[in-house]
């Protein structure tokens, strides 16, 4: 498959995954050191999904995220500086400090403030797609959500509505095997969430969520289909979140064998290995990429930390238009 | 644009349902981004929603803009939020207000907050039409719900009591850039069903008009006591006022028309004159919007009030089915007469 | 199939269907004449479902109904007098006039006051089944609901939970092709709602909902399965409501061909014909049955109309235990 | 059974989370029909719910009685209603109160109404545990929600502010035959996370005790002004009272502990003495329960009040993320000090 994609695209997807990884590694440390307020949910291990899907989108397409959306935000084009400033609760954060880690987003690049009510973004993305269709715009909406979200009523109602109206919306389920501490096998009997698509009469596809090219390809097809007016697709990306649910999660509820198996599938080393094996990436180039990312992160942190805080009374603004 | 007084326009006598329909039709003609979404609103051979408001509109605007949905209230609300965010102006509805509890998450966590969470980058111009009030259908098709929404920052709350207000306020709601909860009382639609309805028809000009939010209407001037009421209770207040006049008590009746924003000024001015305030709503007493209004008025007009603000509201029970109990449950003009007399020490 | 069932059972099921039909025919007239308050949703044409399912249940099993549950109430054993009195808003109605047509039920015979929020009874029935399981009782819960209800989030969440815990609950979808004025084909893409069972890993069965014996058999299997601890079944009964949605519905949204096709399948004449053809029912016996039913209805109306109304202040009672 | 004063019992210092856990454990041991249902509450190696309240309980009671669910709030609430109707006593929870909007239909249309609809034949003995309050997590994990439920006939509303009350009230809630909405403030659990929490620990006797609903506690006696506060605001009120004492102002602080039923009597008695009332809640101002209390007190104590009842509450906005804004949003002791001084004409 990789062969069909230009080298630059492959390297770019690799770089974008790595950028998310380093970004999250760093904020995790900032968070643990107490420098960063609030709570965080990291997506290490799931970067291939955000990157593979968003590589098919333009700024005008709109995505909805969840409590775990730093990766989607970076992949969709939210500037790292404004993202970092948001996490630091600064007034030039992407939500001016009103959002925080669970609500990152910037409509200027096509991402709503992430919706942290599990499943809550699915109807909203469906409504966005409805607007696109009514306005005859060649745009798609993408809703990212987890395995756990697929047990919410919102999932059922919204996908059914997206389906009956053939809306240009893609439902991307990041099945990382857990909703918080709860293993997916405890809370649903079917093996592939993608098969829930059947209830709505739309295609459901399972893809290796740790293979960015596979995700890219599957998303591309679904998005093409949606743009052609043929309606939504439910894509289930099988993946794993390396760091667990949130903050400093000791992950004692996880089976160690399972963890090991999945860590071996980490999408980033996997992609790197492939790129090197196919001579697309040299180790020099690889180091340059890492260095550039580190530099960008340093700068973003510097930017954020030197940014002003909102004024207390700013709390009163932005309620009504 | 706002037309507060009707002058030389041609007037027609419309029911509330007709007035609402006309508002929707005019706004849909004016602005392509306006559309309706809800259950059974546009089905050919159907009813135009539970209360005929959208009857015939799908013939003019097609089924894409009068969009029939599955029975999925959370979905409807969430889709309206999304469509609004992406530049449309949805008018969503639930067939009976009681079903709105299924959509609360989308309305409160998303519609009311996304602008704030985005620090002002987004807007959510949507209208949610919510029929309320007891009408002989039992506990799950009868509630008055305004008070829940008065408590939600980021939502506007509108309660028209007659055809003229209904049209003018709905047009304003549709053009408003914020989520507007638009409450319609089932017995005021003017549908011709059996045992249904008060005549809430009214003169509606042919010329276009809009009514601003936050402007109360003094329905009747008076000197002795102020009665603030909304929706169906406006009629109870007006007939109580007539009765009280016979007894020599002069009542000022005010319909705030919108609860968020609220025209406190007009109410305070009235209380300054009458020194007595009675608030009437069909919503349950405890935690109802009457408490908020009473508290605000008391706080501003403490020295003018001769007696504490009195509330007349439905008791703190679900809505009973049997008409004899339902009638007891819903406040009526006799309750107001009795209370007014007692407030004036004349009972 | 019929052969396996004793003649008495067959006649009894026929009688029960007829009883529901006559009851509803009569209250419809009372309603139209203005004698009866409120609103009504009739189930003419769907009687085979209530009767076929409930014939498998004992008083201790519990059902939840909907806005359209006179039939279920009679089938489950709510006394006709108390049902009639409820519709007349009298103080000896099954809910003492607090419920009305949309909330008929009597827990003493295993029926909750019907829940008129579409889909709202599905989680409640699931919870009842959970209680049965936790208490190790040999009882089942049955939730009746419509095709329209299957698009509600409540359907999705509750059936998934019933499934993962193998609860003794049967989900009976009465697919009468319409949710109010909306044809089922407009609001879902899949043909058989029973197939939504797949999303939850439980069996889904389609049955001719106008054939009381077929319903009986399918329900029996599902109920046996549930009692054995093997979990829920989703049963979709294909049917049609002769009179349309509610009150005096002109039914202009219905296709006349469709109507004709379905009226020909009316479960009551169909059963009668079979019973007569197989010599189980004589026309004399048939007339006796009808006469007895008419008498029962007359008495119920007399009872209801001569019953006292609640006191206005009774509105204040029964809020808290 | 109710143990209002602790006498010679052995006392332990427990956090609110520990006290709640103990209440659940005792009731589950006592009564087989009591069980817990919620997300992540019993998973082996997990956290015992979002705030550790059920930690370790599945080891004693097994996973059938500490029942982990899918992420399905409507389902959880509806199943709790059904289980309660069929003779169990579920303790359901949502991880953060904000998610309760997904379950509103089941709570308001079913839990609160089924007894009424059945004319008293049914009862719905369930507890819904609802963590509330701002704690640095942004708009969808922060709301205070008590006021919505105070408005629902048929629901009881409980708001414990410390470990002793939390245990005694939860036990009463579990034994109550009605649906009880049990609000817990996130910053009071006493979890040891960073930046978290006020010390709401307290002496909890070893001997079993229950606290009755509808009995307020006078947390501190005073003469000049009464402050009524719940949950986290009790601490703000107490520290304001200390500060005000230094300025010669004597404050009576009352924690109603339950909002439905409400101990109006204790509050009225206090106002009779102080002639001034300040109500403090973290819930948004407009339409908050403070309005109801203010209206009731004003109506009963109109002649004793020297100044109108004053409310201190969160402003009418969603909850902002940035700590600097969140701190501004949440009422604090300085707000109370300032208001009390002004109410007494000493500002
Ligand atoms: C409606 C709702 N219920 C519960 C939560 C608490 N919660 C936050 S994340 C989470 C797990 C979500 O699981 P999943 O959808 O699989 O996403 P993941 O965290 O695995 O990315 C839960 C239960 C929530 N935020 N919203
Ligand atoms: C949550 C909710 N939404 C809408 C309604 C209004 N309503 C009453 S019956 C009905 C149609 C229900 O369709 P279905 O579930 O197929 O049952 P049927 O009426 O066909 O028996 C609707 C939309 C309702 N009662 N509850
Ligand atoms: Mg997950
Ligand atoms: Mg149907």
Mean pLDDT of chain C: 97
Q: Note the pLDDT tens digit of each residue in B121-167.
A: 999 999 999 999 999 999 999 999 999 999 999 999 999 999 999 99
The minimum CA-CA distance between B49 and chain A, rounded to whole Å, is: 19
Q: Does B39 sit in the ligand 2 pocket, CB within 6 Å?
A: yes
Q: Note the pLDDT tens digit of each residue in D150-193.
A: 999 999 999 999 999 999 999 999 999 999 999 999 999 985 54
| pLDDT, position D11 | 83
Is the pLDDT confidence value at B8 over 80? no
Q: Which residues surround ligand 4, an ion (CB under 5 A)?
A: C 146-148, 176, 178-179
Domain boundaries, chain B: 12-205, 217-343
Picking from D136, D140, D317, the nearest residue to A117 by CB comes out as D140
CB of A141 within 8 Å of a chain B CB? The answer is yes
Residue A246 or B39, more confident: B39
Q: By CB neighbour count within 10 A (0-12 exposed, 13-18 middle, 19+ buried), where does A150 fall?
A: buried
The residue nearest atom 17 of ligand 1, judged by CA position, is A146
Q: Are C202 and C265 in contact (CB under 8 A)?
A: no
Scanning every residue of chain D, which has its alpha carbon at the shortest distance from the alpha carbon of A33?
Answer: D194
| pLDDT, position D198 | 85
Q: Are A181 and D45 in contact (CB under 8 A)?
A: yes
Scanning every residue of chain C, which has its alpha carbon at the shortest distance from the alpha carbon of A185?
Answer: C164
Read off the DSSP letter of residue D210.
Answer: B
Q: Note the pLDDT tens digit of each residue in C123-153.
A: 999 999 999 999 999 999 999 999 999 999 9
In sequence order, which residues have a C-beta less than 8 Å from that of residue D216 and are 6 or more positions away?
D254, D255, D256, D257, D263, D266, D267
Ramachandran area for residue C98 (φ above 0: left; ψ -120 to 50: alpha; else beta): alpha
CB of D63 within 8 Å of a chain A CB? The answer is no
Q: Which residues of A touch D284 (CB under 8 A)?
A: none
Q: How far is the CA of B239 from the centre of ligand 3 (A)?
A: 60
Task: Spell out the alpha helix ranges (H) of B44-132.
Answer: 57-65, 73-85, 104, 114-117
What six digits make up the tokens of D114?
């089924």
Read off the DSSP letter of residue A307.
Answer: S
| pLDDT, position D19 | 97
Q: By CB neighbour count within 10 A (0-12 exposed, 13-18 middle, 19+ buried), where does D248 fall?
A: exposed
Residue whose CB lies within 8 A of the most ligand 1 atoms, among A69, A150, A179, for a mutation test = A179
Is the complex ipTM more than 0.95? yes
D217-343: which CATH number, 3.40.35.10, 3.40.50.1780, 3.20.20.60, 3.40.50.920?
3.40.50.920
Average pLDDT over residues D250-278: 98
Q: Which residues of B touch D311 (CB under 8 A)?
A: 295
Round to the nearest angstrom and report the end-to-end CA distance of chain D.
46
| pLDDT, position A2 | 46
Three-state secondary-structure class, residue B14: strand
Is the pLDDT confidence value at B305 over 60? yes
Q: By CB neighbour count within 10 A (0-12 exposed, 13-18 middle, 19+ buried), where does B106 fall?
A: buried
Average pLDDT over residues B296-316: 97
Instruction: Give B346's pLDDT tier (boundaries 50, 70, 90).
Output: confident
Summary count for chain D: helices (H), strands (E): 12, 14
Residue whose CB lies within 8 A of the most ligand 1 atoms, among A100, A124, A180, for a mutation test = A180
CB of B282 within 8 Å of a chain C CB? The answer is no
C-alpha distances in angstroms, C253 versus B40, C179, C183?
10, 12, 9
| pLDDT, position C2 | 46
Is the pLDDT confidence value at D2 over 90? no
**In the CATH scheme, what is the code of domain B12-205?**
3.40.50.970
Is the pLDDT confidence value at B199 over 90? no
Which of D78, D140, D153, D304 to mutate to test binding with chain B, by most B CBs within 10 Å of its CB?
D153
Average pLDDT over residues D221-249: 98
Picking from B40, B321, B323, the nearest residue to C180 by CB comes out as B40
The residue nearest atom 22 of ligand 1, judged by CA position, is A180
Atom of ligand 2 nearest to the CA of C119: 1
C2-307: which CATH number, 1.10.10.10, 3.10.450.40, 3.40.50.970, 3.40.50.620?
3.40.50.970
Least-confidence region, from A268-272, C3-7, D1-5, D135-139: D1-5
Strands of chain B, DSSP E = 11-14, 34-38, 66-68, 89-93, 127-132, 156-158, 180-185, 202-205, 217-220, 225-229, 251-255, 258-260, 277-284, 310-314
- Packing angle, helices A153-164 and B73-85, rounded to 10: 70
What six digits make up the tokens of B36?
């309706």
Task: Spell out the alpha helix ranges (H) of chain A.
Answer: 7-32, 47-54, 70-76, 80-87, 121-134, 153-164, 184-187, 212-227, 256-263, 267-277, 283-305
Scanning every residue of chain B, which has its alpha carbon at the shortest distance from the alpha carbon of A60?
Answer: B86
| pLDDT, position D10 | 78
Picking from A62, A98, A154, the nearest residue to B119 by CB comes out as A98
| pLDDT, position D193 | 46
Q: Does C68 sit in the ligand 2 pocket, CB within 6 Å?
A: yes
Q: How far is the CA of A240 from the centre of ligand 3 (A)?
A: 8
Read off the DSSP letter of residue B284.
Answer: E
Across the interface, do C103 and B45 touch by the CB < 8 Å criterion? Answer: no
Residue whose CB lies within 8 A of the most ligand 2 atoms, among C66, C67, C150, C177, for a mutation test = C67
| pLDDT, position B138 | 97
Q: Which residues of C touch B99 (CB under 8 A)?
A: 117-118
Average pLDDT over residues D319-334: 98
Domain boundaries, chain A: 2-307
Is the pLDDT confidence value at B195 over 60? no
Q: Note the pLDDT tens digit of each residue in B218-260.
A: 999 999 999 999 999 999 999 999 999 999 999 999 999 999 9
What six digits make up the tokens of D293?
């209390």
What DSSP string runs through D39-56? TTSS-TTS-SSTTSTTTT
Q: Note the pLDDT tens digit of each residue in D283-316.
A: 999 999 999 999 999 999 999 999 999 999 999 9
The minimum CA-CA distance between B155 and chain D, rounded to whole Å, is: 10
Is the pLDDT confidence value at D17 over 80? yes
| pLDDT, position C4 | 79
Closest residue by Cα to residue C202 from C253, C237, C153, C168: C168
Is the pLDDT confidence value at B54 over 80? yes
Q: Are D226 and D267 in contact (CB under 8 A)?
A: yes
In sequence order, which residues have a C-beta less than 8 Å from that of residue A257 and are 6 or more positions away?
none
Three-state secondary-structure class, residue A316: helix
Q: How far is the CA of D168 from the centre of ligand 2 (A)?
A: 43
Round to the nearest angstrom and report the end-to-end CA distance of chain B.
46
Residues 33-62 (A) with a CB less than 8 A from some CB of D: 34, 37-39
Atom of ligand 1 nearest to the CA of A46: 21
The minimum CA-CA distance between D198 and chain B, rounded to whole Å, is: 27
Mean pLDDT of chain D: 95
| pLDDT, position A306 | 98
| pLDDT, position B194 | 38
| pLDDT, position B347 | 73
From the candidates D63, D141, D151, D185, give the one annotated as an active-site residue.
Answer: D141
In sequence order, which residues have a C-beta less than 8 Å from that of residue B45 and are 6 or more positions away?
C181, C251, C252, C253, C254
Q: Are A34 and D194 in contact (CB under 8 A)?
A: yes
D63 is known as an active-site residue: no
Across the interface, do D106 and C112 touch by the CB < 8 Å criterion? Answer: no
pLDDT digit string (tens) for chain A, length 321 residues: 445 799 999 999 999 999 999 999 999 999 999 999 999 999 999 999 999 999 999 999 999 999 999 999 999 999 999 999 999 999 999 999 999 999 999 999 999 999 999 999 999 999 999 999 999 999 999 999 999 999 999 999 999 999 999 999 999 999 999 999 999 999 999 999 999 999 999 999 999 999 999 999 999 999 999 999 999 999 999 999 999 998 778 999 999 999 999 999 999 999 999 999 999 999 999 999 999 999 999 999 999 999 999 999 999 999 999
What six digits make up the tokens of B27?
């706004």
Instruction: Give B319's pLDDT tier (boundaries 50, 70, 90).
Output: very high
From the candidates B63, B141, B185, B272, give the one annotated as an active-site residue.
Answer: B141
Integer Cα distance of C238 and C175 in angstroms? 5
Average pLDDT over residues B13-21: 96
Q: Which residues of B touch A154 (CB under 8 A)?
A: 74-75, 78, 105
Q: Does C67 sit in the ligand 2 pocket, CB within 6 Å?
A: yes
């Amino acid at each position: 498959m990789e062969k069909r994609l230009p080298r630059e695209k492959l390297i770019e997807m690799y770089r974008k995954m790595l950028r998310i990884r380093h970004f999250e590694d760093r904020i995790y440390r900032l968070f643990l050191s107490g420098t960063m307020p609030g709570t965080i949910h990291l997506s290490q291990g799931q970067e291939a999904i955000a990157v593979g899907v968003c590589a098919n989108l333009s700024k005008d397409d709109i995505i909805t995220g969840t409590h775990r959306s730093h990766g989607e935000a970076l992949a969709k084009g939210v500037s790292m500086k404004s993202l970092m400033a948001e996490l630091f609760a600064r007034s030039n954060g992407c939500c001016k400090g009103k959002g925080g880690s669970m609500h990152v987003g910037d409509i200027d690049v096509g991402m709503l403030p992430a919706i942290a009510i599990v499943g809550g973004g699915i109807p909203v993305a469906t409504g966005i797609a409805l607007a696109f269709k009514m306005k005859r715009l060649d745009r798609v909406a993408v809703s990212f959500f987890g395995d756990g979200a697929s047990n919410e009523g919102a999932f059922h109602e919204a996908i059914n509505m997206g389906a009956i109206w053939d809306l240009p919306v893609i439902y991307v389920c990041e099945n990382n095997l857990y909703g918080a501490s709860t293993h997916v096998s405890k809370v649903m009997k079917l093996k592939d969430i993608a098969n829930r698509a059947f209830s709505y009469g739309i295609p459901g596809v399972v893809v290796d969520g740790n293979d960015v090219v596979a995700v890219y390809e599957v998303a591309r097809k679904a998005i093409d289909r949606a743009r052609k007016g043929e309606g939504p697709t439910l894509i289930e990306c099988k993946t794993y979140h390396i760091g667990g649910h949130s903050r400093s999660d000791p992950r004692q509820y996880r089976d160690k064998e399972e963890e090991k198996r999945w860590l071996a599938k980490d999408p980033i080393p996997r992609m790197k290995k492939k790129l090197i094996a196919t001579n697309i990436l040299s180790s020099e180039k690889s180091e340059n990429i890492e260095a550039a990312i580190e530099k960008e992160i340093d700068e973003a942190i510097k930017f954020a930390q030197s940014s002003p805080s909102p004024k207390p009374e700013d709390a009163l603004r932005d309620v009504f238009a | 644009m706002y037309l507060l007084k009707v002058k030389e326009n041609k007037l027609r006598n419309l029911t509330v349902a007709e007035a609402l329909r006309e508002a929707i039709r005019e706004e849909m003609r004016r602005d392509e981004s306006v559309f309706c979404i809800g259950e059974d609103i546009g089905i050919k051979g159907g009813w135009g929603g539970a209360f005929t408001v959208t009857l015939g509109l799908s013939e003019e605007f097609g089924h894409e803009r009068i969009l029939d949905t599955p029975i999925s209230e959370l979905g409807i609300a969430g889709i309206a939020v999304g469509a609004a965010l992406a530049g449309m102006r949805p008018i969503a509805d639930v067939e009976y207000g009681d079903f709105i509890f299924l959509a609360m998450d989308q309305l409160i966590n998303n519609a009311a907050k996304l602008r704030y969470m985005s620090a002002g980058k987004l807007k959510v111009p949507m209208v949610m039409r919510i029929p309320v009030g007891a009408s002989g259908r039992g506990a799950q098709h009868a509630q008055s719900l305004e008070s829940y929404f008065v408590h939600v920052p980021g939502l506007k709350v509108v309660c028209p009591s007659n055809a003229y207000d209904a049209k003018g306020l709905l047009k304003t709601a549709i053009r408003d850039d914020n989520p507007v909860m638009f409450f319609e009382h089932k017995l005021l639609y003017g549908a011709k069903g059996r045992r249904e309805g008060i005549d809430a028809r009214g003169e509606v000009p042919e010329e276009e008009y809009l009514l601003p939010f936050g402007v109360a209407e003094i329905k009747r001037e008076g000197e002795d006591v102020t009665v603030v009421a909304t929706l169906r209770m406006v009629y109870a207040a007006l007939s109580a006022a007539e009765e009280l006049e016979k007894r020599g008590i002069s009542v000022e009746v005010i319909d705030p028309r919108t609860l968020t924003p609220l025209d406190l000024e007009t109410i305070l001015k009235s209380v300054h004159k009458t020194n007595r305030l009675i608030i009437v709503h069909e919503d349950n007493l405890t935690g109802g919007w009457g408490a908020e209004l009473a508290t605000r008025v008391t706080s501003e007009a403490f020295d003018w009030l001769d007696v504490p603000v009195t509330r007349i509201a439905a008791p703190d029970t679900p809505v009973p089915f049997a008409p004899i109990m339902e009638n007891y449950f819903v406040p009526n003009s006799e309750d107001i007469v009795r209370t007014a007399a007692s407030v004036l020490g004349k009972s």
